[in-house]
């Protein structure tokens, strides 16, 4: 479906994750963060950069991996993106929802 965030109309999944990573820009990330009730700071962006970098290299993301990234520890990740940090950070990063089986 289509959705307008930060004055940009983009294709998103039913759960409102970007369908095309190429649509992403910083303003859009900021807009999604606002929807999630998060005010972005430099620390937030460092995590988003890390996540996008991993995504571009086809590395599956887990909370463990982010905790060991050297960018943020798990506790810190939770305080930056409270309640479901991996999902929220993935949405803001413009990447698909982290996968599972069923």
Partner 1 sequence: MWHKNIFDFYTYEGAKALRNKLREWEGGKLVIHITEMPIKCPVAPLEFAFLADSFFKNKGMRDKVDITFVTPLDGAFTKPKATEALHYLLEEKGIKEVTDFNIERVDYENNKIIDYADTEVEYDLLVTVTTNMGDALIERSGLGDDLNYIPTNKTTLQTEANENIFAIGDCTNLPASKAGSVAHFEAEILTENILRYIDGRELKEEFDGHANCFIETGHGKALLIDFNYTHEPVTGSFPFPGVGPLTLLKESRMNHMGKMAFKWIYWNMLITGRHLPFVTTKMQEAGKNFD
Neighbouring CB atoms inside 10 A of 84's CB total 12
52 versus 90: smaller Cβ distance to partner 1: 90
- Residue ranges in 30-89 that form contacts with partner 1 under rule CB under 8 A: 60, 62-65, 68, 74-75, 77-78, 82-84, 87
CA dihedral 2, 40, 47, 78 (to 10 degrees): -100
Nearest distance, CB of residue 65 and partner 1, angstroms: 7
Backbone φ/ψ region at 48: left (φ over 0), alpha (ψ -120 to 50), beta: alpha
| Footprint of partner 1 (CB under 8 A) | 14-15, 60, 62-65, 68, 74-75, 77-78, 82-84, 87, 99-102
């Amino acid at each position: 479906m289509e959705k307008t965030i930060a004055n940009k109309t983009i294709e998103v999944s039913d759960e409102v994750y970007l369908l095309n990573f190429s649509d992403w820009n910083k303003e859009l990330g900021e807009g999604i963060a606002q929807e999630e009730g998060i005010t972005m700071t430099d620390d937030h962006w460092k995590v988003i950069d890390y996540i996008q970098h991993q995504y571009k290299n086809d590395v599956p993301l887990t909370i463990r991996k982010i905790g060991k990234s050297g960018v943020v520890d798990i506790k810190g990740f939770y305080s930056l993106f409270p309640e479901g940090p991996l999902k929220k950070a993935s949405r803001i990063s413009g990447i698909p929802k982290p996968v599972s089986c069923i």
